[in-house]
């Protein structure tokens, strides 16, 4: 991949940065202002040779702002590009089907991903998800409803789940 673009916007949960390929697909994103937190999560086969900062990433920036303003569906159609093994890619696709305001357990997520006995692998897919928000790994919680871990902090995950519960 040649050139990608990045942008950071302020959100109620902190700065949110996205890295987007030239065709508009999200390669990485999260609640950080540092590209050093994002780029290592991008598959080497997708990692851009160069990165250019922009004030606005068009549809991606609109989706981030709209989501945080209460339009939870704004992120649903934003294209995402991630690479890994077959199960990881299938698991990331399955995450995009989990509705806002209706978190699932890791066991339920493994079932959605097509491998009900692969709960640890499903948890690993969440941990390795580079396109946070657009692939909503924050919607997966522990059995019994405990929050569980989140790359951007448990408090951000808690606030995202509350945001979705109140707007859904």
Name the token pair of 137. 């790994």
**Residue 129 near residue 136 (C-beta atoms within 8 A):** no
107 contacts: CB under 8 Å, gap ≥ 6:
116, 119, 143
Burial class (CB in 10 A: 0-12, 13-18, 19+), 31: buried
Catalytic residues: 137
Q: Whole-angstrom Cα distance, residue 6 to residue 23?
A: 13
């Amino acid at each position: 991949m040649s050139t990608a673009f990045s942008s950071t916007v302020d959100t109620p949960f902190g700065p949110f940065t996205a890295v987007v390929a030239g065709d508009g697909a999200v390669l990485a994103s999260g609640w950080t202002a540092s590209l050093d937190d994002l780029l290592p999560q991008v598959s080497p086969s997708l990692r851009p040779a160069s990165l250019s900062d922009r004030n606005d990433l068009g549809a991606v920036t609109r989706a981030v702002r709209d989501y945080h303003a209460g339009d939870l569906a704004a992120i649903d159609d934003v294209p995402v590009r991630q690479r890994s093994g077959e199960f990881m890619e299938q698991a990331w696709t399955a995450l995009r089907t989990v509705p806002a305001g209706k978190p699932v357990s890791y066991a339920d997520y493994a079932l959605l991903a097509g491998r009900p006995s692969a709960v640890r692998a499903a948890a690993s897919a969440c941990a390795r998800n580079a396109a946070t928000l657009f692939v909503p790994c924050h919607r997966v919680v522990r059995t019994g409803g405990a929050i569980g871990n989140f790359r951007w902090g448990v408090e951000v995950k808690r606030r995202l789940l509350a945001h979705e519960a109140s707007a859904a």
